[in-house]
Amino acid sequence: MSALAAAHAPVLATRELVKRFPGVTALGGVSFDLLPGEVHALCGENGAGKSTLIKLLSGIHVHGSYEGTLLAAGREVKFSSTRDAEAAGIAVIYQELALVPEMTVAENLCLGHAPVRRGLIDWDAVYTQAARVLKMAKIELDPTAEVKNLGVAERQLVEIAKALSKDPKVLILDEPTAALSDDEVQRLLDVVRDLKARGIAAIYISHKFEEVFAIADRITVLRDGKSVVTLATQDTSPETVIRHMVGRPITELFPRRPNATGEVLLSVSDLTVAPHRGAPPRLTGLSFEVRAGEVLGIGGLMGAGRSELLLHLFGAWGARLAGRVKLAEIELKATNPHHALRAGLALVSEDRKRYGLFLESAIGFNLSLSSLSQLQKGGLLDESAEVARSQALFSSLRVKAPGLETVVRTLSGGNQQKVVIGKALMTEPKVLLLDEPTRGIDVGAKLEVYELINRLCAEGKAIVLVSSELPELLGMSDRIVMLAEGRLGGTFSRAEATQERLLSAALGRRSVATLAQPS
């Protein structure tokens, strides 16, 4: 092969990859090329085959377990372990971070291959090596900091540094910004750009189109396990990509249909909350109302206190120092979720695997758990009533599963989210608190969640929607409250809200909150 051809040969390529699991074909023919020094985005709904493809590229699914060919620098490679993939210059940064929280940045960077002198770890070498790696990646972090004290974004950077310490030719980033604020996303994108300038190619996987369009040179769309199309970013648009992802044009991304609002269902006045008594308050002087049939969006940067606010209203977090919360004229003391549910409040938490689901249990078990006190007859469970109500929710939410007895772990992210929402809905709440209800679920499932929000509003429920994605807040809320470091940054009506206004309110630049009610 001539030097010229080699320079243009893809660093990594796949040809007609097919991977079958018992009962499902996860990949049904994936072909794409990763050129030297390019950032190549992979887009696709959940279940489109992105994760499987990465596992194949990184040697988790070994050669022989799939059909098709994998090429690195023009030559076929057969990985029989992740070490083989590493040796071929492929480094992966996974969605779920793989750092040891109790160790320092440097210890994490050297984990598994710490420099040794006379059988003992050479700590000086550990820290100088780590400092060198961080400097090389232009990441400003203290190598002696303990990982548990770092934010999610900083941990992500440690992961990248760790991957870079192996001197890779290809970096695979799997949803690296799922938990990052806008600022942190920018920082991460800068690092990726810098690597690109140094000739390291990257495969970038994200649900967020803004990032994809900001960073990627080309985009390959996966649908149902097949590579559908590869597009040059400059010649395409998010709409086109979405159309390829779902296989049909989506006319409305946020189909919010405002409707007539009714009485005030939830009213919060002068709420000040600390993590525990004696601690400085995390939420200060918050006041707002939500009416029947209304969606109140709550936004803010990471750490602004959005989730804490919802958890507190629900009785699951913090000690109230001042203020009152009323739910349809009932005073809510917020002592525990049990009482909140009884009063007619339900919460869908942001971390569904941790706070929402019983993964090893059946869908039916999950759906009815919050409503069991209403489902008993003489101390025993009224199983016919339970099944009838679970079945009704199961069909109205269109959960894609064989039946109520299917174990939740086997469902896709979007369907798991439907189960969590279903559990909240079965309690027949007056007010529904949704914390990032569309995080990590695909476009189709997002739409279904939005439609559900519309339906619930039309039924006269009040909804509080927390989201870190401004387009979602703007698209789905009737009014928006922005939090800035636990204080009210501003309240906006649907008409006056713009990305810029919301962002400046989130940053606390607006000292006087504009109080606007829809007239």
Partner 1 sequence: MKITLKSALRDYSMLIALAAIWAFFGIEHPVFLSSRNLSLLLIELSITASLALGMLLVLLPGQIDLSAGSGVGLSGALAAVLVFSHGAPAPLALLASMAACVVVWSAMGALIVRQRIPAFIITLGGLLVFKGLHWLTIKGQTVPVSEGGKANLYSLLTTYYLPAIAGYVLAALVVAALCWSLLRARARRASYGFQVPDTERTFLTLFIAAQLVFLLVVVTNQYRGLPLPALILGTLALFVYVLTAHTPFGRYLYAIGSNEEAAFISGVPIQRTVVIAFALMGGVVALTGFMQTAYAGASTSTVGSLMELDAVAACVIGGTSLRGGRGSVTGVLFGALIMASLLNGMTLMAVSPEIKFIARGVVLALAVWVDVKLNAD
Q: Which residues of the chain form contacts with partner 1 (CB under 8 A)?
A: 314, 316, 336-338, 340-341, 347, 349, 354-361, 365, 368-370, 372-373, 375-376, 379-381, 383-384, 387, 391, 403-405, 423, 427
Nearer residue to partner 1 within complex by CB, 338 or 509: 338
* Residue entry with tokens 């080699």: 6
* Edge-to-edge strand ranges of the sheet holding 264-274: 283-291, 264-274, 319-327, 330-331
**Cβ at position 497, least distance to partner 1 in Å:** 30
* Edge-to-edge strand ranges of the sheet holding 226-232: 90-93, 170-174, 201-205, 39-43, 218-223, 226-232
Selection from 263, 307, 304, 309 nearest residue 286 by Cα:
309
In a 13 Å sphere around the CA of 420, the CA atoms on its Cβ side amount to 31
- The pair of structure tokens assigned to 360 is 């090893």
**Cβ at position 336, least distance to partner 1 in Å:** 8
Selection from 116, 161, 108 nearest residue 135 by Cα:
161
**Cβ at position 430, least distance to partner 1 in Å:** 15
DSSP result, 425-470: HHT--SEEEEESTTTT--HHHHHHHHHHHHHHHHTT-EEEEE-S-H
Nearer residue to partner 1 within complex by CB, 325 or 404: 404
Nearer residue to partner 1 within complex by CB, 46 or 368: 368
**Cβ at position 364, least distance to partner 1 in Å:** 9
Residues 6+ apart with CB under 8 A from 436: 350, 466, 467, 468
Nearer residue to partner 1 within complex by CB, 232 or 369: 369
Nearer residue to partner 1 within complex by CB, 261 or 349: 349
**Cβ at position 360, least distance to partner 1 in Å:** 6
**Cβ at position 370, least distance to partner 1 in Å:** 5
**Cβ at position 180, least distance to partner 1 in Å:** 23
Nearer residue to partner 1 within complex by CB, 272 or 391: 391
**Cβ at position 452, least distance to partner 1 in Å:** 19
Separation of alpha carbons 320 and 277, rounded Å: 8
Beta bridge partners of 266: 290, 327
DSSP result, 23-42: TEEEEEEEEEEE-TT-EEEE
Beta bridge partners of 30: 17
Nearer residue to partner 1 within complex by CB, 249 or 379: 379
Residue 269, judged by CB atoms within 10 A of its CB (0-12, 13-18, 19+), counts as middle
Nearer residue to partner 1 within complex by CB, 62 or 316: 316
* Residue entry with tokens 């994490």: 108
**Cβ at position 313, least distance to partner 1 in Å:** 13
**Cβ at position 325, least distance to partner 1 in Å:** 17
Separation of alpha carbons 250 and 256, rounded Å: 14
Nearer residue to partner 1 within complex by CB, 373 or 396: 373
CB 391 within 8 A of CB 367: no
Separation of alpha carbons 203 and 170, rounded Å: 8
Residue 332 per-residue DSSP state = P
Nearer residue to partner 1 within complex by CB, 121 or 330: 330
**Cβ at position 183, least distance to partner 1 in Å:** 29
* Residue entry with tokens 């057969």: 78
Regarding beta strands 431-435 and 345-348, do their DSSP bridges make them parallel or antiparallel, or are they unpaired? Answer: parallel
Nearer residue to partner 1 within complex by CB, 58 or 427: 427
Nearer residue to partner 1 within complex by CB, 194 or 405: 405
**Cβ at position 78, least distance to partner 1 in Å:** 25
Selection from 30, 123, 41 nearest residue 70 by Cα:
30
